[in-house]
Amino acid sequence: MASILFKSEEDRERMREASRWFPAQVAGAVEERYVETRWGRTRVLVTGPMQGPPLAVLHGAMASSSHVLPELGPVLDRCRVCVLDVLGQSPWSEDRKLDDYGGWLDEVRTALGLTRFAPLGVSWGGMVALRAALTVADRLTQLVLVVPVGVVTGSVWTGLRDGAWPVVTYRWRPTAARLERIVAMQFTARHAEWERYLGEALLAFRLDFRVPRLGKGDGWERIQCPVLAIGSDLDVHAPGERLLGRLREWFPQAETELLRETKHCPPLTPEFREFLGLRILRFLDATS
C-alpha cells in the first residue's frame, strides 16, 4: 500500500534519521514504547519522575515526539511526560489518516495506565488535543494548548503569499534562499537543526495543509477542567489575539497567555524553554 505520508519508504527512513538529534538533547532517561490500537501502532516517548502528574503531549504537523520533547524544559523534571507520535503526522507511528482522535487517545491512555491525565497539544497537536478532549473529558485533570491550529485562521492572502507559494517553489526547486523565506514566516528565531529538518521534511512528506476545523457548536461545554491556552501575536496560522479570544468563548474558565513578538514557532532557545516550562508548571500546580 502506498504511503499517505511519504513519497517512498526511503523518505520515511530519512525523516526518522533526521529526527534522532532532538531527543538526544534531553538530559534524563527517555523510554521508547509502542502501543497497539485499533488504528495501528503508536510510538510513545516516556520520561520524567514516575510519581509526577501525567502529561500526554501531542506534537505538531510533519514532526514527531522526538521534536517536542526537548522543548518542554523544566516540565520534564516535574511531570511524567508521555509524548505520543500522532498517527498520520509522524514517521514513527501508523501511516494513516485518523478521524477519531478521541478514541485513539483513550486507547493509548489506557495502555499507558493513565487513569486521569492532562493533554498538552502544540500546533496540529493542539487541534488533536481539543478534538480528543471531547471524548475523554471525564479523564482530564487539565488541558494545555500551545498555538493550536483549527480554531481560527489568518489572512488567506498572507497564507498563500508567505506560506503556500514559498513551499510550492521550494519543492519544485529547493534552494537555501527559498527555505529561508519559509523559515522567516514560521520561526521566531533561527535554529540550524530545525531548519535542516524542515528542509528535508518539505521534500519527503506528501503535504496536506487542510486542517480539520473546530467550531462553537462542537460541545466544548463538556470540558470543565482547567484550561491554559498560549498564543503568538505574529502567528500567521492562528493569530494569537483572535485565537485566545475564541478559546475564552469556548472555555470561560480558560487562563490565557499571549506571547509578544512571536511567530507560530516560538524561540527554540534554553531561555524560552525555561519560561514556557515554568509557565505550564505554575498552571498545573495552581489547578491540581
Go through the domains of the chain in sequence order and give each one's CATH number. Answer: 9-154+206-287 (3.40.50.1820)
Give me the phi and psi of 83, to 5 degrees please. -100, 120
The 10s digit of each residue's pLDDT in 18-65 is: 999 999 999 889 999 999 999 999 999 999 999 999 999 999 999 999
What's the whole-model pTM score? 0.95
Name the residue with cell 514557532: 265
Q: Please, are residues 179 and 118 in contact by the beta-carbon 8 Å criterion? A: no
Mean pLDDT of 171-184: 95
Amino acid at 146: V
Percent of the residues in the chain that have a pLDDT greater than 90, as a whole number: 85
pLDDT, residue 163, reads: 77
The 10s digit of each residue's pLDDT in 210-256 is: 788 888 889 999 999 999 999 999 999 999 999 999 999 999 999 99
Beta-bridge partners for 58: 84, 121
The 10s digit of each residue's pLDDT in 112-142 is: 999 999 999 999 999 999 999 999 999 999 9
CA–CA separation, 255 and 131 (whole Å): 19
Confidence at 175, pLDDT banded by 50, 70, 90: very high
CA–CA separation, 14 and 153 (whole Å): 32
Beta-bridge partners for 84: 44, 58
Amino acid at 189: A
Q: Can you say how many angstroms the Cα of residue 217 is from the centroid of all Cα atoms in its chain?
A: 24
Residue 1 pLDDT > 80: no
